Homo-oligomer: A and B are copies of this chain.
Amino acid sequence: MRQSRRLWAADLRTGTELTTATITDVAREAGVSIKTVSRVLNREPNVREETREAVLAASRALNYRPNLSARSLAGSRSFLIGLFFDNPSPAYVSDVQRGAVSRCRESGYHLTIEPVAADAVDLEGVVEQAVSTLRLDGVILTPPICDDPRVLSVLESVGASYVRIAPDREKGRAAWVGMDDRAAAQAMTDHLLDLGHVDIGFVKGHPDHGASRLRQEGFLQALAERGIAPRDDRIVQGWFSFRSGFEAGERLLAGADRPTAIFASNDDMALGVMASATRRRIAVPEDLSVAGFDDTPAARTVWPQLTTIGQPILEMAAVAADLLITGEARDFPAGHPPGRVFDFCLTVRDSTTRPSR
């Protein structure tokens, strides 16, 4: 009745000795071979119900934990999924992580993270190193690196399957999940138009992000459908940052000829616009409606609370992990990867109302 015994350095301190059950111990306990234990644990077919239960009982009795390293070395799966991200927004990344982990946990997978700078010189090296040494079963990519051709090439050259979240280009290249930014921006603009606004300012996003273009298109389309001609001086460039939003606000709100509403391409810039309005003693929403995009926590942490567009990020990330775990992200007809568009959520809060004039 020998069991694998291991002595940890920490035990030398406490004097406790630990036992870590291996698959061999479980097999002995259940009176079967290790291969049969393996079959049960991997839910393989062709195991008698009676045998399965005996194994499961033995496994529970010994508090058996499979050794991922051994599984990975012997088998073809590592049970590890990598999440690569630049750091656009902590709140966004946090949601992606929680969504992905929740799906991973269901299948005994774990998530490793690799924060990287999109402009890092050795981006490819970091990616390749992580994927190769960890033998990742799959990789999840967030914007903006999900559109970095170098990263995609590296992943493909080492044969890793990956899912892109909200990619902008080459959607036929690999699996992805995303949202319809154009439709969302159009919906928000419609909301402002419905309130009675006709003179609406727009703050563009960072030109490198694909979403910026789509959001602007949605804005313009909404105007077009109501027969409103966009005024060039109502559309100003921003960079997704609070400061750029503040500056855009300063520009749009200078003078008496100002819009009655401003739609910023993300929440941080919307907050910047609100700050600019506050500075100029323009009351939000009474004298100016402000709308954002993303529904970051800050949108609720500000007064008045921001009307914005929410994305089901947790769900998107969970589906991304799912595509990897099920293998759908790997096996698909060339040029036709699985992709899924999620619904956005227009959240009307206190920063938008009918125009006062």
Contact = CB atoms under 8 A, between A and B. Distances in A.
A101 B300 CA distance: 30
Given A90-B91, A111-B113, A161 B10 contact: yes
Nearest to A71: B69
A302 B275 CA distance: 7
A73 B65 contact: no
A25 to B, nearest CB: 14
B110 A130 contact: yes
A271 interface: yes
A342 interface: no
Contacts of A303: 246, 274-276, 278-279
Interface residues of A, number: 69
Interface stretch (A13-21, A44-52, A207-215, A224-232): A13-21
Interface of A: 8-11, 13-14, 16, 18, 20, 65-70, 72-73, 78, 80, 87, 90-91, 93-95, 97-98, 101, 105, 108, 110-115, 126, 128-130, 132-135, 156-161, 242, 246, 268, 271-272, 274-276, 278-279, 297-298, 300-303, 330-331, 334
19 contacts: A8-B159, A9-B330, A9-B331, A11-B159, A13-B334, A16-B157, A65-B128, A65-B132, A67-B73, A69-B69, A69-B78, A70-B73, A90-B90, A90-B91, A97-B113, A110-B114, A274-B303, A276-B303, A278-B278
